[in-house]
Amino acid sequence: MVKFLDLQNINAKYGAALKEAASRVIDSGWFLQGEENRNFEAKLSKFTGSKSVISVANGLDALRLILRAYKELGVMSDGDEIIVPANTYIATILAITDNNLKPILVEPDINTYNIDINKIVSAITPRTKAIMIVHLYGQVVWSDELESIAKRYSLKLIEDNAQAIGAEWCGTKTGNLGDAAGFSFYPGKNLGALGDSGAVTTKDEELAGVIRSLANYGSSEKYVFDYCGYNSRMDEMQAAFLSVKIDFLEAETEHRRNIAQYYIDNINNPIITLPTAPSKGHVYHLFVVRCSRRDELQGYLTANGVQTLIHYPIAPHKQRCYRDSELSKLELPITEQIHNEVITLPISPILTLEEVGKVVELINNFK
């Protein structure tokens, strides 16, 4: 059986160090907002090159907090518009609607699955305040044109970096390209905690201060509350685990890239569309291919012992949670085609080339 994601064995590799980290936290008697958080924030700051890092409870909160902080700073207000790719994971859009902001869905590029930068300008209105880009599946989306659009229309560029930690654009890491970025350390992400956690990175120290306060009930001084905030903190246990695992992230990413290259070099079935990607610009959180007979292909692979997943089966604008909103009336043919045709092949830091070889052989024999 080729598993899609074997979290037990992925973490077993670091078992001794993780157990030592857990013991350290238990023995310290300090479980929130302590040394482990500061240490992990410093490590993530060094890794991404971002000046400020705020560890939070999860990736959705990271994105919610960025938008909420911009509202507190007067940059955005209720009903303002945020441009976002239509084929993202639902959390990106939930962060926008949860803040009473309006998501403006823009179609992706069919080759990269990332927002089509050429379609952004026509989506801008006087109420547009930000572009929330998503480095989907682990592939960076950035260009000089994107930056100049943001500058020309005075828009914030916010990165949903939940899937792309470690990816680069011209030597700059994702999370340090835009004005602010949200990270997720959900267990299945490239840097996965043993539970939920997330982070915000930004160069903007004022924004960072507001986010740190908002994540702590709106307080930066004990029992003094400047905002009606949230409780969204990373616990010390997760920070300690992440500090162990972040040191191995580059090596794990290298392994992901080798697997992806093997798939790209060896899958030669003409009904499969492979991803196209710049070398350092993709960390292959997911290895997504397209096939017009996707469901049949998935059934065949399952029957032959290969687990696959669909990222994602239903587009956000087609979800029940938005059935009463304007989103449900949109027609987005490229997004819908992607949701109908994509299938994600196994990729992970512990998948072996023998296993990948088996998947390739099966796919090449699929008629």
Ligand X SMILES: *Cc1c(COP(=O)(O)O)cnc(C)c1O
- Closest residue to bound ligand X by CB: 59
Question: Residue 112 interacts with ligand X (CB under 6 A)?
Answer: no
CA separation for the pair 52, 200 (Å, rounded): 8
Q: Which is nearer to ligand X, 47 or 186 (CB)?
A: 186
Residue 213 lies near ligand X (rule: CB under 6 A) = no
CB 75 within 8 A of CB 56: no
Residue 63 structure tokens: 């994105």
Which CB, 142 or 186, lies closer to ligand X? 186
Q: Is the separation of the CB atoms in 301 and 359 below 8 Å?
A: yes
> What are the angstrom distances between the C-alpha of 362 and each of 27, 211, 233, 268, 298?
50, 48, 45, 11, 11
CB closer to ligand X out of 25 and 134: 134
Examine residue 134 and tell whether it contacts ligand X (CB under 6 A). yes
CB of 258 vs ligand X, minimal distance in Å: 23
- Min separation Cβ 152 and ligand X, Å: 26
Q: How many CB atoms lie within 10 A of CB 61?
A: 29
* Best CA proximity match to 309, nearest among 322, 324, 295, 319: 295
Contact flag: residue 160 with ligand X (CB under 6 A)? yes
CB 22 within 8 A of CB 225: no
Q: Which stretch binds ligand X (CB under 6 A): 56-64, 297-305, 319-327, 342-350?
A: 56-64
Residue with tokens 């209720």: 78
Candidates 50, 87, 99, 163: give the one binding ligand X (CB under 6 A). 163
Q: Which two tokens stand for residue 277?
A: 């990607």
Give the C-alpha distances (Å, rounded to integers) separating 95 from 137, 263, 326. 19, 34, 17
**Closest CB 136 distance from ligand X, rounded Å:** 7
Residues 186-205 that bind ligand X (CB under 6 A): 186, 196, 198
CB of 174 to ligand X, least distance (A): 12
CB of 316 to ligand X, least distance (A): 11
Cβ partners under 8 Å of residue 65, min gap 6: 54, 56, 182, 200, 211, 214, 215, 230, 232
Which lies closer to ligand X via its Cβ, residue 2 or residue 141?
Answer: 141
Q: Which is nearer to ligand X, 49 or 195 (CB)?
A: 195
Return the residue of 50, 52, 55, 92 that touches ligand X, per CB under 6 A.
Answer: 92
Between helix 59-72 and helix 90-97 the angle, nearest 10°, is: 30
- Segment lying near ligand X (by CB under 6 A), choices 52-60, 173-181, 266-274, 315-323: 52-60
Residues 6 or more apart from 26 whose CB is under 8 A from it? none
Q: Does 85 bind ligand X (CB under 6 A)?
A: no
Per-position x/- string for 230-259, each x denoting binding to ligand X as judged by CB under 6 A, each - no binding: ------------------------------
CA 244 to chain centre: 20
- Quick one: which of 48, 50, 53, 59 contacts ligand X (CB under 6 A)? 59
141 binds ligand X (CB under 6 A): no
Q: Give the residues lining the site for ligand X (CB under 6 A).
A: 58-60, 88-89, 91-92, 134, 160, 162-163, 184, 186, 196, 198
